[in-house]
Amino acid sequence: MTRYDYDLFVIGGGSGGVRAGRVAASLGKKVAIAEEYRFGGTCVIRGCVPKKLFVYASQFSEHFEDAAGYGWTVGERSFDWKTLIENKDREIARLEGLYRKGLDNAGATIFDSRAVLEDAHTVRIVAEDRTVTAETILIATGGHPSLHPALPGSEHCITSNEAFHLEELPKAIVIAGGGYIGVEFANIFHGLGVETTLVYRGKEILSRFDKDLRTALHVEMEAKGIKILCGEIFSKIERRADGRLDAYTSADRVLTADQIMLAIGRKPNTDGLGLDKAGVKTGLKGEIVVDRYSRTNVENIYAVGDVTDRVQLTPVAIHEAMCFVDTVYRGKPTSPDHETVATAVFSQPELGTVGLSEEDAAKAYAELDIYMATFRPMRHALSGRMEKMVMKLVVDAATRKVVGAHVLGVDAGEMAQLLGIAVKAGLTKEDFDRTAAVHPTAAEELVTMYQPSYRVKDGKRVD
Ligand code: NDP
């Protein structure tokens, strides 16, 4: 019999926390979990899930246009933002209910409250003003969008949090940040008919992705009518007399919009969590420092997900949670595998990727064979849309292993999931070559690029 109230107390009811709490409870552990906002966390409540619903909504404008080439006449079109928000909120509430039900069915105790550490084994349930104790504590409090206090007028800006609940669809929006969120929301707002400008401080959007796909996406986004300004940052934001906002940029430009959105990264939620009282160490960004088993410097306290700032992706948080359960409750010490994680940016067109970009591979391998195809997919043959698809395989010339696979185009995210298996398994280009094509698909290009487009030797392209 444990001398604590709970075997496990989980702080944070997002993807990582809920998974760990539910599975530990189903193994017979006495589990409690506290969430101060809504169960489901960023991914379900104000991240991946509502974002994807917005992406679907925003794609209809092009679908209607493309229909004509296939013989359809689409009548008068109009878009109602409030309907989208209401329907999205209903779906999110349903998913939140499923998260709670899963915990409940597994026998976990749910606290709808903020929870903070009092010491290494004691947690304060803030809403009930009482403390409970636990043998093991798992911190899975996630992160929040970075604000920009140094920017004059930044209080007028929204982040992705607010973008999901705007009272009205803006007529014009300016978004700062060329990462996942900035790029995805630029496409969402544009697709919904909003005049959209993206301001990015670097040379090319999506700095961590393969250069050819970044450039190709930039071209396609601009072709749709999204204005992209690279090499610029905001210098100040001002509210105008008419209620609209002016964003002044470092290039002496003034961009006027109804909303200005910051999408400049996310920070771990560790403020006021009592980490000092428990003696838990944090890093420079406030992230909880953990070892390879997600254990903090305090023996009985673990942390998973965005609060540890390892890889800020939902499936990674879930994987870390499962490894935590294996390590602590199944007697199988397992460290999360953060290598070769497939990912997608739900831009329009979509970008799906797994493994190394050409630039990173060139640093890791002496010689590379690059296979690349740029083509107009069949679905645009009759629509008249000129949008191009790009597929690229990065192959280590010495072993012939495919070390990176990148797709820009319709359903690239779906393809990245399947490519992820092949690249993770360490398959060679010859394995790809002897795989039969599925015809007619766009993805067949991935198994029919027989000749290298060019080679890279010692970091330099040689044709
Ligand atoms: P990202 O890290 O993807 O991008 C942040 C962007 O903001 C970069 O372009 C960065 O520039 C820029 N930036 C950072 N600081 C400043 C600053 N002070 N001034 C101006 N620009 C700045 O973060 P996001 O906010 O887009 O997303 C957060 C995380 O959430 C992502 O990293 C991702 O892991 C996750 N996410 C995943 C999604 C998915 O899987 N589809 C969707 C949305 C989010 P630079 O490149 O020069 O550093």
Task: Give the pLDDT score at 463.
Answer: 82
Atom of ligand 1 nearest to the CA of 148: 18
CATH code where residue 114 lies: 3.50.50.60
- Residues 32 and 77 reside in one and the same domain: yes
Position 338 in a domain: no
Q: For ligand 1, is residue 315 a contact (CB within 6 Å)?
A: no
- Residues 376 and 426 reside in one and the same domain: yes
* pLDDT one-digit tens code per residue, 184-229: 999 999 999 999 999 999 999 999 999 999 999 999 999 999 999 9
* pLDDT one-digit tens code per residue, 389-440: 999 999 999 999 999 999 999 999 999 999 999 999 999 999 999 999 999 9
- Residues 186 and 235 reside in one and the same domain: yes
How far is the centre of ligand 1, averaged over its atoms, from the C-alpha of 93 (Å)? 27
User: Which of 214, 236, 264 is the last residue in one of the domains?
Assistant: 264
Q: How far from chain centre, in Å, is Cα 219?
A: 22
How far is the centre of ligand 1, averaged over its atoms, from the C-alpha of 311 (Å)? 12
Task: Give the pLDDT score at 141.
Answer: 98
- Residues 169 and 187 reside in one and the same domain: yes
Backbone φ and ψ of 273, nearest 5° = -90, -5
- Residues 204 and 116 reside in one and the same domain: no
Position 354 in a domain: yes
- Residues 114 and 35 reside in one and the same domain: yes
Pick the residue whose CA is nearest to atom 24 on ligand 1.
265
Q: Which domain covers residue 308, as residue numbers?
A: 6-144+267-329
Pick the residue whose CA is nearest to atom 4 on ligand 1.
179
Structural domain tally of the chain? 3
Q: How far from chain centre, in Å, is Cα 436?
A: 32
The residue whose two tokens read 């160490």 is: 281
Task: Give the pLDDT score at 1.
Answer: 52
User: Which of 282, 300, 329 is the last residue in one of the domains?
Assistant: 329
Q: How far apart are CA 290 and CA 280, in angstroms?
A: 10
Residues acting as catalytic residues = 439
CATH code where residue 358 lies: 3.30.390.30
* Burial class (CB within 10 angstroms; exposed 0-12, middle 13-18, buried 19+) of 363: exposed
- Residues 300 and 255 reside in one and the same domain: no
Q: Comparing C-alpha atoms, which of 347, 70, 49, 43 is closest to residue 191? A: 347
Position 84 in a domain: yes
- Residues 128 and 205 reside in one and the same domain: no
Q: For ligand 1, is residue 344 a contact (CB within 6 Å)?
A: yes
Q: For ligand 1, is residue 233 a contact (CB within 6 Å)?
A: yes
Atom of ligand 1 nearest to the CA of 183: 26
Q: For ligand 1, is residue 179 a contact (CB within 6 Å)?
A: yes
Whether omega before 440 lies within 30 degrees of 0, making that bond cis, reads: yes
Q: What is the DSSP string of 235-286?
A: EEEEE-TTS-EEEEETTS-EEEESEEEE-S-EEE--TTS-HHHHT--B-TTS
Q: Do residues 248 and 239 make contact, with C-beta atoms less than 8 angstroms apart?
A: no
Pick the residue whose CA is nearest to atom 9 on ligand 1.
178
Q: With a cut of 70, which residues of the chain have pLDDT below it?
A: 1
Position 149 in a domain: no
Mean pLDDT over the full length of the chain: 98
Q: Do residues 138 and 20 make contact, with C-beta atoms less than 8 angstroms apart?
A: yes
- Residues 311 and 195 reside in one and the same domain: no
User: Which of 329, 358, 381 is the last residue in one of the domains?
Assistant: 329
